[in-house]
Structure 1
């Protein structure tokens, strides 16, 4: 009896407080396909590539019910490439998300760590690339609608979801002694999702951030800075305003997105304007099995015009597995223009076509 009491007491201690209910969810996405690129630095390209429909990733979502409407939570998420097994960022293991926080069912949530901004969270899902393929994003993803960078050293607040409406603000500290603004980033946003309609708007400002202007547009200089392959443009202020909306009308879901990227330094400023519109069509008449998407992008920057026309078709074999095919045709015009779809090497001409067939499994 004494031994039983000891064992029972130890088990109770190891189990922790009786009122705490916790859960750990393992999740992720695996996406692999075959691409054709009509002009990749002057040559045709056939390749196997990963993460072009959904980013390859795995993560842990941890939640603990503290009682009284309070919850502790944490998320750790890492990106990788299925076709090689390599990490997306070899210097940062949890490069996509790494944060911990507390939430209250009346006052919202507060989190700290490496966190995505509101441009991606509130507007990114309304982009042509969702549920298309990554090359449907705007040139170079300079607006951040694709999740390629989270904000380090962030403090983020978000309201509760009130009848479909949510808003938030975040600050990413630069961690520079004596200079609060150096390297600092901040973001604000709001979204609404209800009755088949979705609307998102967000603004992000970054101090002392770089942009690959040469790799995206082939420009040899910008605002007094000479550029070449491997040389990034250094912006003292890098701001993005983005807004998007979609609405479900029967079997059709039309959507629009705008983003404006303003780059500034001591010489002045310039703005990249991106306009996107499209429609997703449920060919299975409301069952969601076959989705056809048609969309177009129009971008203006430094006398250059970039137009892209996209089409994709998805067969949802289940809620977690899909096979798909998609293609994008991009044409650039203006002085020294060249086509360069996001995620691929630039063309040596003003035209570039990217086509892909692949399979995506989510867990």
Structure 2
């Protein structure tokens, strides 16, 4: 990462104001993920394509803080997402679509921030799933990223509290305002989460609720068109644990998402080209993930996950079985190359038209889909 440290005098010269004793830092950082992906079936044909963010979404950002004294700091983050394959902005063209917030952080009491931010499921539970890390990423997400562990969408107009670390225990909560003068609950969001680390054991849980996230909702509210589902209400909750021993780590994650007055599964979040129309009733996804990570050498890692998803959509109950496998080799502290494969099979679909659909790729025309990516990641 590139860090610029500005003294109080420098800030006064550059900004025309500022206390001379204040110390500020601004960090420029980023990640670029590019690869070549083979997909066995996309709309009825196999495909070989260049992809961006098959594991981690490409991004760059600015992160800063100002020491206010007494253990108090002003903090901010502005993070842009983009496609390295095309140069286009991600997150439906937003300049800082991944994160944009400012707030205060206390060494004693925690941090309060306002802006476009990750929900508590992403903050606390996602790191225990393979999709929420650099060991699995986008294509290893649960079907349609239905639980948002791969942070397909963020929460606008949000205020977030993040606690300090109390002997391994951390917690946080978030509220996203609808910004609607006539409908306080129309397109709002709230979530809470916690994690506890004790030696090799790490446990976490999270909850997220979106109200009026897509049916006649205020478009300037908490969730915009990048939401995974069009539904009156979405509730997602889950828990997980990881246990490390030597160079290995194993884990289990359980999540469940319930939809009420659901009308569609959107294409923008999952990356699919088709999206799925629902009849306006209820729908649900229950996910069970078992994962493991192993460092063969300090530079060479191997990770794998199996996810079973039991879904209920429009009178059918499709069952998803998904396997992912990744190996990565670090060429330096900031650059690595990786090879990743994902296999998904869906059954019990009836005549619904539901087919296999690996996250970030166009949907298959059959009940199975295989994707393999060879890529490179560079961090700065």
**1:45 equivalent in structure 2:** 47
Q: What corresponds to 1:164 in structure 2?
A: 168
CA distance in 2, matches of 1:253, 1:137: 19
Which 4+ runs in 1 deviate beyond 6 A?
10-13
1:315-349 alpha-carbon deviations (Å, 9 max, x no partner): 11222111000101111101144111111111111
Partner of 2:105: 103
Q: Deviations over 1:19-73 (max 9, x none)?
A: 2110000001001000000011100100011111111000000100100010000
1:208 matches 2:212:
yes
Q: Which residue of 1 aligns with 2:148?
A: 144
Q: How many residues align?
A: 331
Aligned to 1:237: 233
* CA deviation after TM superposition for structure 1 residue 268, in Å: 5.4
Give the match for residue 281 of structure 1: 294
Task: Give 1:119 deviation, angstroms.
Answer: 1.0
Partner of 1:215: none
The answer for the alignment partner of 1:294 in structure 2 is 304
8 Å contact 1:19–1:67 — kept in the other structure?
A: no
Work out the CA distance in 2 between the residues paired with 1:260 and 1:39.
28
The equivalent of 1:307 in structure 2 is 321
Show the counterpart of 1:350.
Answer: 367
Match of 2:70 in 1: 68
**Superposition pairs of residues 176-191 of structure 1, within 5 angstroms:** 176-191=180-195
- Contact map agreement 1:275 1:299 (CA 8 A) in 2: yes
Deviations 1:125-167 (A, max 9, x none): 2212231242111001121111221111001111111112111
Shift of 1:15: 7.4
Instruction: Quote the residue 2:9 is aligned against.
Output: none
Q: How does 1:315-330 map to 2 (within 5 A)?
A: 315-330=329-344
Instruction: Please name the residue that 2:3 is paired with.
Output: none
- Give the equivalent residue in structure 2 for 1:254: 250
**How far apart are the structure 2 equivalents of 1:238 and 1:102?**
30
CA–CA distance in structure 2, aligned partners of residues 52 and 192 of structure 1: 30
* Structure 1 residue 251, shift from structure 2 partner: 2.1
C-alpha separation in 2, matches of 1:360 and 1:122: 24
Query: Computing the radius of gyration over CA atoms, which structure comes out larger, 1 or 2?
Result: 1
Stretches of structure 1 lacking an aligned partner (at least 5 in a row)? 1-9, 212-231
Q: By how many angstroms is 1:105 displaced?
A: 1.1
Q: 1:31, 1:359 within 8 Å by CA — same for their partners in 2?
A: yes
2:163 and 2:178 map into 1 onto residues whose CA distance is: 25
Aligned mates of 1:90, 1:144 — CA distance in 2 = 17
User: Structure 1 stretch 125-134 or stretch 304-313: which is displaced more?
Assistant: 125-134
Structure 2 alignment gaps of length 5 or more: 1-11, 216-227, 263-279
SS of the residue corresponding to residue 122 of structure 2 reads helix
Compare 316-325 and 21-30 and name the one that shifted more.
Answer: 316-325
Quote the offset at 1:90 in angstroms.
4.8
Tell me what 2:35 maps to. 33
Q: CA RMSD in A?
A: 2.0
In 2 relative to 1, CA 311–91 (structure 1 residues): closer, same or farther, beyond 3 Å? closer
SS in 1 for 2:186: coil
Bigger mean CA deviation after superposition, 186-195 or 258-267: 258-267
2:284 matched to which residue of 1?
Answer: 271
Q: Secondary structure at the match of 1:248?
A: strand
Alignment partners' CA distance in 1, 2:117 and 2:323: 32
Which residue of the partner structure matches residue 196 of structure 1?
A: 200
- Structure 1, 73-82 or 290-299: larger mean CA deviation: 290-299
Which residue of 2 is the match for residue 113 of structure 1? 115
